[in-house]
Amino acid sequence: MSARTSKEIRAAWLAQTLEWGRSDAPPLAFIGIDLRDRPDHPDHRFDLTVEPGTTVVAIGDEDSGVGDLGGLALGLRQPLSGRAEVFGARIGQLPYYDLLLFRRRIGYHPAGDGLLQNLTLRDNVALPLRFASDHRQTEVDDRVNQLMEDFRLRAVAGLRPAEANEEDCRRAAMARALALDPDLVVLEAPFDGLTGRAAQDLLDKVSRRDDGAHRAVFATVQDLVPSVRRMVDRLIKVADGSAVEEKP
Amino acid sequence: MTAVVAAIGRSGARRLSVLGGLARFALGAFRAAARLTRAGRWVTLRVLINQIRFTALQAIGLVTFLAAILSFLVISQTVRQLGRLGATDLIGTVIVVAVIRELGPLLTALIVVSRSGTAIAAEMATNRVMGEVTALEAMGIDPYIYLVLPRMLGAIVSVAALMIVFDGVALASGYFGAALSGMHFQRYANIVLTTLSAKDVWLTVAKGVVFGSAVALFPSYHGLAVKAGPTEIPQAVTRGVVATIVAIFISSALFVVVAAG
């Protein structure tokens, strides 16, 4: 069996997900989304487009609805009105199994990291490669080794999340989000509890694809330290259900 | 009167809806098998082996002990009573029908439910509460593939294997019970082998599949149905285990009807 390059492996699994969406569409767009409890005035709709290769952060209070944006982008929840489009596909409208397949194009870091507690950090990182791709066992091992190295997780690879510290868990969750080297990464509260330096380091790693190009990153936060603000292309404040552009 | 009918109707509708949900859940688990990726198969096999180790290997001691005691008690008492009537040849029917065909599978399934059914329900409910199920779906991983399928296959293999262990131990300790009343091994073996038929083998296999599926399916379904938070976990475990026990007894009765037909 001939060895495949990482480019060939990526192209093979990506091909399964290209059936939906358009090649010229932005990675992520929220169109007329109602973030409040019930539909009200049309002026209070959330519109935002995340262009390829840019890092966009939505910031807002806990009750602003900013925490719902990640779930809407992944199709994990449905908006009261409006729609979320990922690579041009209305993600909320896809049938369940198509949706599962399509989500492999998106890296996702849920709030609270969402690591599986009965797996080691290494196995958590390997999970999407093993179950959501056609990687061979040796290819999975190579990719996981590379991610453990990049995210400085080698020393703690055998620990379960409950045995590791918060920063290592966050690193593992980020590494897992990047396992399939996606073009779009959605991060929910990714820097909570981290130092500014650790947050900077993680955002730098997340925003670059394996081939060195910038990937689209969309993060939702309640607070952002100045050093990380400087790395962001667009900062959007969620206020009154609308998107207000702020200076990073 | 109308209120009573409405209450009965509501309860019936709720039960039917749970049954429908279970049927969908079971179908989802079987369909998931067709969607396993190459690398996923290895991981599923690893989870499956772990499940068999916990469900079958670690339960062998308990199953052996209970099978030995039960069979010894039943056979020694029965041989004594039948001896008074001069009908010790009927001991074969008692062993095969009561112990091997009915009590063995039932007790084995109940042992597995009490050990593994509770563990499966608690694990699934915790997965749900900790947001791990959502994380799996967000990664494009079907929770049926990762969580339900290996446990279901593991439970089927384990229950079937434990039933065979139970039957073997029950036959052996049954001899010691019969020997107490002076029955020789040759006679005991002749009586048992004459009564045992191929139908008993197939029934054991079929019960292993049905009871094993129930042991994994009901606890998984109720565990994954948890919504509110950690306080719901013990309730989900109770619901899962009670539903499994009821399902095992009902299917055991159905097996009698089918086997008699």
| Predicted local distance difference test score (pLDDT) of residue A172 | 96
CA A192, CA B94: separation in Å to the nearest integer?
67
C-alpha separations of A33 from A50, A136, A147, A178, B117 in Å: 15, 40, 35, 27, 43
| Distance (Å) from the alpha carbon of B123 to chain A's nearest alpha carbon | 10
pLDDT greater than 70 at residue A102:
yes
| Predicted local distance difference test score (pLDDT) of residue B224 | 93
| Predicted local distance difference test score (pLDDT) of residue B180 | 82
pLDDT greater than 90 at residue B62:
yes
| Predicted local distance difference test score (pLDDT) of residue A97 | 84
Percentage of chain A modeled with pLDDT above 90: 52
Q: How confident is the model at residue A15 (pLDDT cuts 50, 70, 90)?
A: low
Question: Phi/psi of residue A212, each to 5°?
Answer: 95, -15
Q: How confident is the model at residue B18 (pLDDT cuts 50, 70, 90)?
A: confident
Q: Nearest by CB to B135, from A100, A110, A135: name it.
A: A110
Say if residues B91 and B79 touch (Cβ distance below 8 Å).
yes
pLDDT greater than 70 at residue A3:
no
- CB atoms near residue B238 (< 10 Å): 13
Region B8-30: mean pLDDT is 81
Contact list in A for residue B223 (CB cut-off 8 A) is none
Contact: A103, B137; criterion CB under 8 Å:
yes
Output the average pLDDT for chain B: 87
> Residue A214 pairs with which residues in a beta bridge?
A208
Contact: B142, A136; criterion CB under 8 Å:
no
Output the average pLDDT for chain A: 88
SS3 at position A40: coil
C-alpha separations of A210 from A7, A171, B68 in Å: 9, 17, 62
Region A14-32: mean pLDDT is 81
For the record, the structure tokens of A22 come out as 């358009």
| Predicted local distance difference test score (pLDDT) of residue A113 | 87
C-alpha separations of B83 from A221, B78, B198 in Å: 81, 8, 28
pLDDT greater than 70 at residue A2:
no
Best mutation target among A86, A100, A169 (most B Cβ atoms within 10 Å) is A100
CA A172, CA A32: separation in Å to the nearest integer?
34
Tell me which chain B residue has its CA closest to the CA of residue A115. B132
C-alpha separations of A123 from A118, B108, B135 in Å: 9, 34, 14
Query: Does A19 contact B at CB distance below 8 Å?
Result: no
Cβ contacts of residue A11 below 8 Å, gap of 6+? none
pLDDT greater than 70 at residue A38:
no
Q: How confident is the model at residue A37 (pLDDT cuts 50, 70, 90)?
A: low
ipTM of the complex: 0.86
CA atoms within 13 A on the CB side of B119: 11
Region A61-72: mean pLDDT is 88
Question: What are B69-96's pLDDT values in tens digits?
Answer: 998 888 888 888 887 888 877 888 888 8
| Predicted local distance difference test score (pLDDT) of residue B122 | 94
| Predicted local distance difference test score (pLDDT) of residue A85 | 94
Query: Would you call B179 exposed, middle or buried from its count of C-beta atoms within 10 A (0-12, 13-18, 19+)?
Result: middle
Contact: A127, B139; criterion CB under 8 Å:
yes
| Distance (Å) from the alpha carbon of A109 to chain B's nearest alpha carbon | 8
Q: How confident is the model at residue B240 (pLDDT cuts 50, 70, 90)?
A: very high
Contact list in A for residue B135 (CB cut-off 8 A) is 108, 110, 114-116
Region B125-143: mean pLDDT is 90
Per the model's pLDDT, the better-predicted residue between B116 and B83 turns out to be: B116
Contact: A133, B39; criterion CB under 8 Å:
yes
Q: How confident is the model at residue B202 (pLDDT cuts 50, 70, 90)?
A: confident
CA atoms within 13 A on the CB side of B30: 6
Per the model's pLDDT, the better-predicted residue between B147 and A186 turns out to be: A186
pLDDT greater than 80 at residue A5:
no
Region A223-235: mean pLDDT is 91
pLDDT greater than 70 at residue A56:
yes
pLDDT greater than 70 at residue B9:
yes
Q: How confident is the model at residue A13 (pLDDT cuts 50, 70, 90)?
A: low
Question: What are A166-223's pLDDT values in tens digits?
Answer: 999 999 999 999 998 999 999 999 998 888 899 999 999 999 988 888 999 999 999 8
For the record, the structure tokens of B174 come out as 């049954």
Region B245-251: mean pLDDT is 94
CA A141, CA A179: separation in Å to the nearest integer?
11
Q: How confident is the model at residue B101 (pLDDT cuts 50, 70, 90)?
A: confident
Q: Which pTM does this prediction carry? A: 0.82
Q: How confident is the model at residue B179 (pLDDT cuts 50, 70, 90)?
A: confident
Query: Does B137 contact A at CB distance below 8 Å?
Result: yes
CA B115, CA B106: separation in Å to the nearest integer?
14
| Predicted local distance difference test score (pLDDT) of residue A16 | 65
pLDDT greater than 60 at residue A1:
no
Torsion over CA of A92, A94, A96 and A102, rounded to 10 degrees?
-100
| Predicted local distance difference test score (pLDDT) of residue A200 | 92
Crossing angle (nearest 10°) for helices B104-112 and B198-224: 20
- CB atoms near residue B89 (< 10 Å): 13
CA B117, CA B237: separation in Å to the nearest integer?
8
C-alpha separations of B158 from A62, B53, B100, B111, B248 in Å: 48, 9, 17, 11, 15
| Predicted local distance difference test score (pLDDT) of residue B223 | 94
| Distance (Å) from the alpha carbon of B126 to chain A's nearest alpha carbon | 10
Q: How confident is the model at residue A44 (pLDDT cuts 50, 70, 90)?
A: confident
Strand order in the sheet with A89-90: A46-50, A28-33, A83-86, A89-90
Q: How confident is the model at residue A231 (pLDDT cuts 50, 70, 90)?
A: very high
